[in-house]
Amino acid sequence: MGNKEQLLSKADKLKMHGELRKAITEYQKIMEIEPDNVYVSYCLGELYYMLGDMKDSIKYYEKAVKLEPEYSLALYRLGISYYRATKFSKAIKLFIRITKEEPDLYMAYYWMGLCYYHRGNISKSVEAFKNLHEKSSKSTLGFYQMSISMESTGRFKEAVQCLEKIVSEDQNIISVQYHLGVSYLGLKEVVKAVKCFRKVLELNPEHKGAQEKLIELHTDQEMLYKYGVTSHKEDYSHEELTMNFHIGQAYKGFGMIQNAFSYFKKKEEK
């Protein structure tokens, strides 16, 4: 027993200090002495996961769960490993089980939502993210992932509502601002979309997605038709007037004089 305890102490210290492969070697030595050690099986699953080896991670998490079926944390980690290995059906079954048996592990809804999303079941994905938010109302993950699912199926208004809730608390999350811009484009609210993309570039001037969206909006004829400014407010801001002018310039450049005139006139009237 002394030898096993020494090996375990050494393995735990190596794991704590990030020496993952050395820790695996020590844990494997313990497995030779005690093949049915649940804790060591769990630790090996965790270490292989950290190394990106999903095959062995699944192998040892499955062993831990087989030895102790109610080991909720091992079940949860196994589900994430299934997700990483794109075994979405297996992962979903585990996460459903976890949400029934261990309600405190509410992040299982997050991974469940991702699995449904990658399987193309958007309604189930949205449902899972809603459940996550209900369990943890302060978490932005539920709102964010829910909005991505909605955006992917053209539910732009709902996506905007989710993303705006996040922005109301933190305006400096680049991915949120970008997807908010994309959703506003889906609603043909160009001015709001432009503001979002400009905010993205303010936070990260090298963001290719935001750069491309702004270039397309200013210069691409098809984009102008598709996202024509049809939902401006009555009281144009200075920035909106500037946008009208630039859109007018773009129409003019394409020889679309009547369209250009309408936008220049809006600026002139103000």
Inside any domain, residue 229: no
What is the domain range of residue 38?
A: 1-85
In this prediction the pTM is 0.67
- Domain assignment present for residue 75? The answer is yes
The yes-or-no verdict on residue 197 having pLDDT over 70 is: yes
Specify the pLDDT at position 92.
97
Rg of the chain over CA atoms, in angstroms?
26
Q: What is the rounded distance in angstroms from the CA atom of residue 207 to the CA atom of residue 211?
A: 6
Domain count, the chain: 1
Whether residue 217 lies inside any domain: the answer is no
Whether residue 35 lies inside any domain: the answer is yes
**Could you tell me which residue, 70 or 246, shows the higher pLDDT?**
70
**Mean pLDDT to the nearest integer, 63-73:** 94
What CATH number did the domain enclosing 8 receive? 1.25.40.10
**What pLDDT, in 10s, does the model give residues 79-118?**
999 999 999 999 999 999 999 998 888 889 989 999 999 9
Is 230 part of a structural domain of the chain?
Answer: no
* Helix orientation angle between 238-253 and 190-203, rounded to the nearest 10 degrees: 100
In this prediction, residue 231 carries a pLDDT of 37
For residues 126 and 128, what is the distance between their CA atoms, to the nearest angstrom? Answer: 5
Q: What is the mean pLDDT of residues 57-78?
A: 95
Helix, strand and coil content of the chain, in percent to the nearest 5, comes to: 75, 0, 25
Is residue 211 included in any domain, yes or no? Answer: no
Dihedral over Cα of 106, 109, 110, 112: its sign: positive
Q: In the structure, how many helices (H) and strands (E) does the chain have?
A: 16, 0
Query: Residue 31: inside a domain, yes or no?
Result: yes
Question: Would residue 68 count as lying in a domain?
Answer: yes
pLDDT, tens only, 120-153: 898 899 899 888 888 876 667 777 888 888 888 7
Count of other CB atoms within 10 angstroms of residue 225: 10
Structure tokens belonging to residue 69 = 């079926």
